[in-house]
Structure 1
Amino acid sequence: MVVILFATYMGIDDFKLGANAQLRGTLGWLTTSAVFALFILSGCLNIRPQLIYRAVCILCLQSLVAIPITFIAYQLNLPDILYSSPVERFIQNGPIFYQVGFYAIDYDTQSLRLFLFAPWCPALGLIGNIYFFLALEEKNRFWRYIGIIGAVAMSIVSVSRSAFVALPVVLVLTWLLRNLFKPKIQVISGLVCFFSGIFSTNLLELFKNTSEEFSSSRASSSRVRSALVRIALDRWKEAKIWGHGTQDPGPKVVANLPIGSHHTWAGLLFAKGATGFLAFMLPFVISFFDLALKSYTSKVAKVSLSVLLVLLIFSFGEQVDILGYLCFPGLILIGMGLQEQPSYFTTINPCHAERSEASHKYRNVL
């Protein structure tokens, strides 16, 4: 994140945007990228993960109470936005981060969407997905069920397509990565790959049709997001190393949304250049492999891996690097997972780990 700050400074300096842009860029970095890193770093503190699991479940209960209130407000035709904090005038990173409201109306379908304590609806879907995997680890059955129901409810009322996709996909991927070295899973995976090759044409056609239906469900949103990515990648060529330093106002064809928004990787390339892109991507990849190895022997690492996969999926439709202040429980868990000390022998040979655990239980009985 320090490298990203340096890329921000260089990009603003290259385009001669002035001292005011430098100050705003630094303040924006302090409230987004720096927070993202500091929460992960705080995972090395002596924090019990059970505290985070219970806190998340309590917040899910609060969301279950708030959701009916927002529906009632919608039926009573109360204003969608109630209040906008004057703090935005000082930081100036967008009024949407400082608005308090009841609900939002989807432009395509005119359906009701909720964002609760998030700045926008898909961000609530991101939080719901992360909280789901944290709530799964709560030991108390009552709070675990409350947390799971609340997290799923947040994902549903956000009407976020990424949230609907990420939850089942991450469940399957986490299970598969944790059991990848088991002989049965390897045999089944080989058979699946074999038959997938035989029916590849049908599977590709099915994937194409599913993708088209996924995009057409909210056609205007898909069109705007696609245009934002194309414009960001095209304009990245103007400043490949350091980027433009800041996001630029978008044209009417993208509903005046900022160029470099709604996509983590394209946004990093546009605003921070290849330097900022690599500064965010390399730790992300290294953390993935580290947590994937440790997930065989550590439950904390398993939860951290699930959180990282959720962030990965949402990174193609959201700017996850600016939402650290919202998904901080998951970021702290990632820090805890990176702190775990792996047992490389049991990681490579899970069968030996099962035998060792059985022997340990047998010795305890004796």
Structure 2
Amino acid sequence: MAETAHHPQTSAERLIARGVGWTWALWLVGGLYIAGPVLGWALAGMVALALYLDRVKATAIPGTVWAWLAGMLAMLVILWVGHVNFELDFGKTIKSSVGWAKGWALLALFPLVGAMLDVRAEVIYRAVCRLGLQTLILLPIFLIAPYVGLPEVLWVSPLKVLGGAGAEYFAAQLYTIEPGAGTPRWQFFAPWSPAAGMMGVLYVLLAAQESHRGWKAIGIAGGLMLALFSQSRLALVALFVIVPIVWGASRLGKGQLWLLAAPAVFALGIFGPTLIDIIDGAAGEFSAARADSSRVRAALGRIAILRWETEAYWFGHGVVEDGPHLVEYMPIGSHHSWYGLLFVKGLLGSIALAIPLGATFLVLLIRSQTDRGAQIGLSLTLALALYSFGENLEILAYLYWPALVVIGLALRENPTPEA
């Protein structure tokens, strides 16, 4: 049984495994941005069919998944109200609604799939490890490309006409040149480098659960390469903080942890001021590593907050707007889920994300004391929460959907006890 645990056996497992396994092929033809939403809605249709045929009961949907469904549906209603408030035309409303279906909706659909369909986490772990092998095989091409004269962008797929998003989502791009530094940086199959770092972190967390040592090493190595060569500062922070935080959080009920924590707290009281100075210095160096990027991110946040407070407090502006020259015309609120939500969907939109995300974290934190699967789901949820302060979660859901499925598995009402 152990030898076949990773083999897809159901229709849902086959779709998921192939969706992960075809990542690089889909990137080459510019189909990743389309494939993620199509897969999410197709799998959700399978859930709806199972409910209709009475193969599963609606009462089996976990309360936390209901919270995600309600929150993401609220996002759509809030979007419509924002369009009405600013008298946006019907065409923009349709376009924004389609954007919701390709973004925010996926944050509810994929956990629903994991919670309701016959899917095993082992299949996803192995698929991610196989993708890691593909990444390691292709890595030399990416690394030598800027030094042998290969173009930055191989091509932009004509599928762009179907997506309605920027060209970066449909471009087969080998590398970019860092402005100011003149050094190469890699984004692999993601639309930009920090997003590749995010995928690297999630893949490391997923591959670490693989039972086969060889595949585990390959999967972790593939994820690490994505994280390291993306040169994302947030990816490096996430790799170092998530695992120890989850390890400690999942052992809150164990007395020996508190015995170990007591001297640490005592030492923190003595050396606290020195530690604060070190953290402040590190934070300064962190920002200075890419001063222009940090400046633009900060300015985008300030503009988003100011315009949210003064123009669209409850329901937001309804659409994304490009910022001024000061922020290099980047969309207001980009690089930050909460600033973006406040600007586009107002305070109610932020609440619609905060409630299910917070509920998921708390439920998995409680279950992680006795459930190994919940520990994995907790680590992924923590990663998404961390990245919500550096990326717009809805924009990248088409890439990190395997993590959402595993979170859905962890939220099932019948968890797997820790071995």
The reply to whether residue 281 of structure 1 matches residue 348 of structure 2 is no
Partner residue, 2:267 = 195
Q: Per-residue deviation at 1:27? A: 1.2
Does 1:233 pair with 2:284?
A: no
The residue type equivalent to 2:215 in the other structure is W
Which of 265, 268, 281 in structure 1 is aligned with 2:341? 268
Tell me whether 1:38 sits opposite 2:118 in the alignment. Answer: no
TM-align CA RMSD: 1.6
Cα distance in 2, alignment partners of residues 342 and 100 from structure 1: 40
Q: Report SS of the residue matched to 2:154.
A: strand
Structure 1: segments with no counterpart, 5+ residues: 347-352, 358-366
Cα deviation for residue 66 of structure 1 reads 1.6
Q: Give the equivalent residue in structure 2 for 1:105.
A: 177
Correspondence for 1:17: 88
Residues 232, 267 of structure 1: 8 Å contact kept: yes
1:57 is aligned to 129
Verify the 8 A CA contact 2:317 2:346 in the aligned structure 1.
yes
Q: What is the match of residue 320 of structure 2?
A: 247
Worse-matched range after superposition: 222-231 or 91-100 = 91-100
Q: Which of 181, 184, 187 is the aligned partner of 2:256? A: 184
Partner residue, 1:364: none
Partner residue in 1 for 2:396: 323
Q: Which moved more, 1:85-94 or 1:218-227?
A: 85-94
Name whichever of 77-86 and 207-216 sits farther off.
77-86
**Distance in 1 (alpha carbons) for counterparts of 2:107 and 2:395:** 8
Aligned length: 346
Local SS of the residue matching 1:296: coil
TM-score (norm 2): 0.80
Report the TM-score, using the length of structure 1 for normalisation.
0.91
Residue 72 of structure 1, CA deviation:
2.4
What are the superposed Cα offsets for residues 302-334 of structure 1, whole Å, 9 maximum, x if unpaired? 111111111111111111222111011111000
| Farther off after superposition, 11-20 or 161-170 | 11-20
Q: Please report how far the alpha carbon of residue 90 of structure 1 lies from its aligned counterpart in structure 2 after TM superposition.
A: 4.3
1:104 to partner: Cα distance: 1.1
Deviation at 1:340, TM superposition (A): 4.4
User: What is residue 213 of structure 2 aligned with on the other side?
Assistant: 141
Percent identity between the aligned chains? 40
Aligned match for 1:294, one of 367, 370, 381:
367
Distance (whole Å) between structure 1 residues aligned to residue 355 and residue 396 of structure 2: 19
The match for 2:145 is 73
2:252/2:369 contact within 8 Å kept:
no
CA offsets, 1:146-178, max 9 Å, x none? 001111111001100000000110011010101
Whether the 8 Å CA contact 2:154–2:174 is kept in 1: the answer is yes
Give distance in 1, aligned partners of 2:93 and 2:333: 18
AA aligned opposite 1:209: G
| Post-superposition offset of 1:190 | 2.8
Letter in 2 for 1:82: L
Structure 2 CA distance, aligned partners of 1:86 and 1:2?
31
SS in 1 for 2:315: coil
Is the contact made by 1:297 and 1:342 (CA closer than 8 Å) also made in structure 2? no
Write the distance in 1 (CA, Å) between the matches of 2:249 and 2:385.
Answer: 15
What is the CA–CA distance in structure 2 between the aligned matches of 1:219 and 1:108, rounded to whole Å?
Answer: 10
Unmatched 5+ stretches in structure 2: 1-71
- Deviations, residues 275-314 of structure 1 (Å, cap 9, x unaligned): 1100011000000011111112222211111111111111
- 8 Å Cα contact 1:242/1:275 also seen in 2: yes
Shift of 1:105: 1.4
How far apart are the structure 1 equivalents of 2:88 and 2:160? 20
* Residues 294, 341 of structure 1: 8 Å contact kept: no
Summarize deviations over 1:177-232 as a string: whole Å, max 9, x none.
01122112112223222221222211111110010000001100011011111111
Structure 1 match to 2:294: 222
Residues 340 and 174 from structure 1, CA distance in 2 versus in 1: closer, same or farther, beyond 3 angstroms? Answer: farther
Deviations 1:322-350, CA, capped at 9 Å, x for gaps: 2111011111000000104369xx9xxxx
Distance in structure 1 (CA, Å) of the matches to 2:405 and 2:262: 36
Q: 1:84 deviation in Å?
A: 1.7
Contact 2:160 2:170 in 1 (8 A): yes
Q: Counterpart of 2:140 in structure 1: which amino acid?
A: P
Structure 2 contact 75–349 (Cα < 8 Å) conserved: yes
In structure 1, C-alpha distance between the alignment counterparts of 2:279 and 2:144, rounded to whole Å? 39
1:307 aligned to 2:391? no
Cα deviation, residue 86, structure 1: 3.2
Contact 1:39-1:335 within 8 A present in 2 as well: yes
Tell me if 1:338 matches 2:411: yes
SS, match of residue 24 in structure 1: helix
